[in-house]
Amino acid sequence: MKFSKTLLYTKLSETPIMPLFNHPDVEKSKAVVKACYNGGIRVFEYTNRGVGADKVFAELVKYIRTDFPDMAIGIGTIFNAQEAEYFVSLDTDFIVQPTLDAGVANVCQQNNMAWFPGVLTPNEIYKANQLGADIVKIFPANILNPSFVKSVKTVMPQVEMMITGGVEPNEQSLTTWFNAGAKAVGMGGQLFPKSILDNNNFNWIENTVKECLNVIKN
C-alpha cells in the first residue's frame, strides 16, 4: 500500500477536499484525475458503483502511481469486509463507506489504512470512533446544518468530521462548514456536473478545485 493512515491524514489536512467520482470510461476518468491533481487535490476517491467499477479503479491506481505518485487514491461505497479486502488487493490507499461496518474497520486496521465510515447521528459517530475511525464521514450532510458539527465537537472533540452530501463548490458553503469545525469535505456531483463531463470541460474542474482550495486556505 502506498500511503499509511498517518500520511493520508496529513495529505487531507493540506488539501481538505476529497473528490468523489465514478465513470465507466477509463480515459475520461484519467482526465478528471489529472484536472483534480492540477487544481491541487492530493486525496481522490473513486466510488464503487456500477458494473466494472473495480476495473476502472485498478487502471486509475496504475495511472496515479506512475504519473502522480504524491496523490492518494481510495475506494468509496464499500459495505462489507469482503469488498474491502478485494480493493486492498487492488492497492487502494483508503476506504470510504456510506455506512458503518465493524468488519470494514477491522480490514483497515489490519492494513494500517485510513477508514472513513458514513455516519449521521452522535451514536453512530461515537461507535465509529470506538472502532478506530479518526475522521468520520457525515453523510448525507444536506439534511443537516453546520451547527450540528459544532454541537458534536463540543462533546466529542477528538472526532474529526468530513462533510459529504450537499456541499457546494462556492465560498458561502465551504466557509460555513469549515467555520463550524469540519476537517474536510467530500464533493461529487457538484464538482463534476454532467454537462461539464459530457463536454470534456476539464479546465472547469481544475479551476473550480483551485478556487475551492483557495477559499479554504484563506
Burial class (CB in 10 A: 0-12, 13-18, 19+), 199: exposed
Q: What is the pLDDT of residue 166?
A: 85
- CATH number assigned to the domain comprising residue 62: 3.20.20.70
Q: With left for phi above 0 and alpha for psi between -120 and 50, is residue 154 left, alpha or beta? A: alpha
Q: What is the pLDDT of residue 1?
A: 60
Please, what is the angle between helix 53-67 and helix 81-89, to 10°?
40
Rounded Cα gap, residues 174 and 26, in angstroms: 30
Domain count, the chain: 1
**Which structural domain range is residue 140 located in?**
5-217
Q: What is the pLDDT of residue 188?
A: 95
167 touches 186 (CB < 8 A): yes
Q: What is the pLDDT of residue 211?
A: 98
Q: What is the pLDDT of residue 2?
A: 81
pLDDT along the chain (218 residues), means of 10: 90 98 98 98 97 97 97 98 98 98 98 97 98 97 94 96 95 96 96 97 98 95
